Structure 1
Amino acid sequence: MDLSRTRVLSVSLVSALSALALVSGCSSSGSASGGSGEGTTQAAPAAANDLQDDYQKVIKDVLPSVVQIDAADSLGSGVVYDDKGHIVTNAHVVGDEKRFKVTTATGEQALSAELVAAYPEQDLAVIKLGEVPGGLKAAKFGDSAKAEVGQIVLAMGSPLGLSSSVTQGIVSAVGRTVSEGRSGGGTGATIANMVQTSAAINPGNSGGALVDLDGQVIGIPTLAATDPDMGDSAAPGIGFAIPSSMVKTVADQIIKDGKVTDSGRAALDITGRTVLGDDYRPAGVAVVEAPKDGAAAEAGIEAGDIITRVGDEEITTVNSLSEVLASAKPGQKVQVTYVRDGNEKTADVTLGEM
């Protein structure tokens, strides 16, 4: 097993995440009311057994829908999307490849698959099996909007090439906006509304399933955090999954039209680069190009202008601009602050669509 060929993306933590106070959802009738010790010791094993049964049921139901994807230079995971052989995964898993070998949880022989389309802007892709084996089971995709902090989740995939592996954790946070790097084969995408989880995400988990205890996929594990203060080593217990709502939106369009026709993502319609201030720190985004029919140009923004703020959010880098836009919607009107010839100006921009 060549573990060097597995791939996972990392996101650097540039600021401390807020501490979360977690409270157990279970209660013991004897813990605070003076109940007998016998009742307490009986209740605890029963509750543990019930939770174990839940884990095992979910794994039995969902794991057959999680596959291993072998590309030319990487190894990742995927989730069976429908009974026609469509499989959803990360765009960084498929890379520039068009053909793949897919191994199901129950199959001994690798199956051939081809790329339907990739959407790097959201780091998602759909591939399709050449022949659909009997008994192939599509996963059930849930509503990621209902994910709650503290909710138990399981991550399923092929970390380090170890197919059909399962880790457990909780939903640590929701609504995260994360930018992934381009190093290690990343797409450079900025993704909004990601689900943060403490379930271990290792190389090869990318494209797999983040599942709740109802057996529904609520996200596609994509990123593992790294700590720049520790030499970009892994930050244990901090991973991110693309929400299932976005997965369904993108996959449905790719399967129907062969591409994403309605991204739902806002765009300023510029080409930009990060500029440095007098202190050599990032100080804004210089507009390199603003097409005349784009959102920025129609609001009077030109090449050479330096964008420093969108709404109330300070803009210092291209990444910070992408993160603000990732949380906006096409057609939304925002105030953009920019500098032209040393003078600060503002423009009301009706955002376009990526």
Structure 2
Amino acid sequence: MKSTLKKLLPFAVVGVISGATTVGTIQYFGHNSDNADQSYFTKSSNASFVGMNAATTGDDFVKAAKTTVPAVVTIKNYQSKSSSRASEQDLFDFFFGDPFGGGRGQQRQKQQQMPDNMPSGMGSGVIISPDGYIISNNHVVAGANKLEVVLSNKKAYIATLIGTDPNTDISLLKIEEKGLPYLNFANSDNIEVGQWVLAVGNPLGLNSTVTAGIVSAKGRGIGILGSQGKAANPIESFIQTDAAINPGNSGGALVNTNGDLIGINSAIQSTTGYYQGYGFAVPANLARKIVEDIKKFGIVQRGFLGVTSLDLSDDQQVAAYNMQKKTSIKAGSGIYITGFGEKSGAEESGLKAGDIITKIDNVAVTDFADLSMSIGSKRPGDKVQVTYSRNGKENMTTVTLKDQKGGTSTRTKDDLSVSEKIGADFDPLNESFKTSYGLNSGVIAKNVSEGSEMAKIGIVDNYIIIEINGKPVNSQKDVEKILDKYQGNVQVKFIDEYGRMYTKGFKMP
């Protein structure tokens, strides 16, 4: 027993050091240094004792840190217009809280006064190949017209944004360099709750910061990606860790003690905007699939079962459904099928409304996070084995996954429709509205995708598009006809929610 305690004590000490370092950092940034509480640093004899024990037994952490730090970079997000900077600051606030303590309005005002040569936001990224591919979060790069990458050796590069995926909060960048240090992806399915991990990033402006902790949970869905409507089909199956993560860590590395990449740090759950013990990372297996799709196809290949469903693990969701539909479905484990989409692979396989999905490819599905991870990491045309319960009896069937249009083939950017390329759909504007406001043409923007060309010029849902390239538009077909096979600069005339008219443009992707 004593021998076991001796072995565990140094690791516990390392955790204490990590936590104390985080609290000390928050104290430093949250208060004037002249008035800072210095009690963490007054007991020098104790600090010396703790440090000596950690150093003599923390070889695994040292090795992992030496491997990871050179491959983690700082990403600076530059946006040319102050209004864009202000809106994107809200994204960072959304994921990490307001780091300036409840003054969002004041912070927006500060951002609007910043010169254009100052970044509007900063995060982290991870080099994943020696030729300069870098993975980060979508919200780190969102809205940028310039992205600067700074290595741990302070060398800086202008990066090209290869692609993004709001549904997983993953982005892929590229810098022109060779022979760079990089991290290998680990199989994140093999991680265990309780295993030691390190988080590496640039929190609170402190470059190349390493914190230690454990995997606290797997398959966490916290509702952060879809809650603002930016992700149409979010995949949330986060790795939860108590390694200290703060603003600036976003997009950085979560690694095991071998220095292998097991996750991309994405968010914290906090009432203060600072670390309170709950950090979340996108699993490496999902992140790797996303960047492979972006590199190979230019877009993410997403397979769908084609079902509408009810998460039986969510008591409140089940209760609300029962009240609305006047049913008596019992809460528990699994995914209850409520219906099917058009050209549904699940319906074609023989699944029916009322079936309860319990496994995908023999892996248990207890909640929607499990289902979204199992299916979201697949491509159209992939086949999955679905285990389901019908009238209390277990059954199995094979489902061919499809894309949202019912196809089973992978597509490239060239295969996308105009609406998919520019990131919005368009509904006709009714004639009475046109008459009331003196408009001769117009369509209403719908389903505007985060980071899309339409979003970049400031268009959001319900803005009115009057003309494209000087031509009036009155339907989705008009937009498609004007921009189909079009190459070059696109000019868009639109009206915002206050009735103000703008003319802005972008280059057709």
TM-score range, shorter chain: 0.5 to 0.7
DSSP-derived class of the 1:311 partner: strand
Contact 2:236/2:372, CA 8 A, preserved across alignment: no
Q: Which residue of 2 aligns with 1:249?
A: 289
Contact 1:92/1:185, CA 8 A, preserved across alignment: no
Q: Which residue of 2 aligns with 1:352?
A: 401
Higher RCO (CA 8 Å, separation ≥ 6 residues): 1
Structure 1 or 2, whichever has the larger Rg, is 2
Q: 1:95 to 1:45 in 2, by over 3 A?
A: closer
Q: 1:311 to 1:103 in 2, by over 3 A?
A: same
Q: 1:294 to 1:98 in 2, by over 3 A?
A: farther
Contact 2:253/2:264, CA 8 A, preserved across alignment: yes
Q: Which residue of 2 aligns with 1:65?
A: 71
Structure 1 CA distance for aligned equivalents of residues 184 and 276 of structure 2: 28
Q: 1:321 to 1:216 in 2, by over 3 A?
A: closer
Q: Deviations over 1:310-351 (max 9, x none)?
A: 3359xxxxxx656534345753335598xxxxxxxxxx8836
Q: Which residue of 1 aligns with 2:384?
A: 331
Q: Which residue of 2 aligns with 1:4?
A: none
> How many Å apart are 1:158 and its aligned residue?
1.7
* Residue 104 (1) aligns with residue 151 (2): yes
Counterpart residue identity of residue 122, structure 2: L
Contact 1:190/1:323, CA 8 A, preserved across alignment: no
Q: 1:309 to 1:26 in 2, by over 3 A?
A: farther
Structure 1 CA distance for aligned equivalents of residues 211 and 137 of structure 2: 19
Give me the TM-score of the superposition, normalised by structure 1: 0.65
Q: 1:232 to 1:278 in 2, by over 3 A?
A: farther
Q: Which residue of 1 aligns with 2:258?
A: 214
> How many Å apart are 1:59 and its aligned residue?
2.2
Q: Deviations over 1:192-225 (max 9, x none)?
A: 3x32211012222121101222122221111222
* Residue 79 (1) aligns with residue 116 (2): no
Question: Which structure 2 residues correspond to residues 1-354 of structure 1 after superposition, within 5 A?
Answer: 26=7, 48-71=54-77, 72=79, 73=88, 74-97=121-144, 99-109=146-156, 111-129=157-175, 131-132=176-177, 136-182=180-226, 187=231, 189-192=234-237, 194-226=238-270, 236-261=276-301, 263=302, 267-269=304-306, 276-277=320-321, 279=323, 290-291=341-342, 293-295=343-345, 298=348, 310-311=356-357, 321=368, 324-328=371-375, 330-333=383-386, 335=388, 350=399, 352-353=401-402
Give me the TM-score of the superposition, normalised by structure 2: 0.47
Q: 1:336 to 1:235 in 2, by over 3 A?
A: farther
Structure 2 CA distance for aligned equivalents of residues 310 and 336 of structure 1: 5
Q: Which has the higher helix share?
A: 2
**Structure 1: unaligned runs, 5 residues or longer:** 1-22, 29-43, 314-319, 338-347
Structure 1 CA distance for aligned equivalents of residues 135 and 144 of structure 2: 15
DSSP-derived class of the 2:264 partner: strand
Structure 2 CA distance for aligned equivalents of residues 278 and 143 of structure 1: 39
Contact 2:245/2:275, CA 8 A, preserved across alignment: no
Q: 1:24 to 1:180 in 2, by over 3 A?
A: farther
How much identity, in percent, do the aligned residues show? Answer: 32
Greater shift in the superposed pair: 90-99 or 276-285: 276-285
Q: Which residue of 1 aligns with 2:422?
A: none
Q: 1:76 to 1:280 in 2, by over 3 A?
A: farther
Structure 1 CA distance for aligned equivalents of residues 290 and 138 of structure 2: 12
Counterpart residue identity of residue 352, structure 1: L
> How many Å apart are 1:114 and its aligned residue?
1.3
Q: Deviations over 1:278-308 (max 9, x none)?
A: 7579999976x822x2225546999xxxx67
Q: Deviations over 1:196-255 (max 9, x none)?
A: 2110122221211012221222211112224xxxx6876722222222222223323322
Contact 1:178/1:323, CA 8 A, preserved across alignment: no
DSSP-derived class of the 1:240 partner: strand
Q: May I ask how many residue pairs the two structures share in their alignment?
A: 288
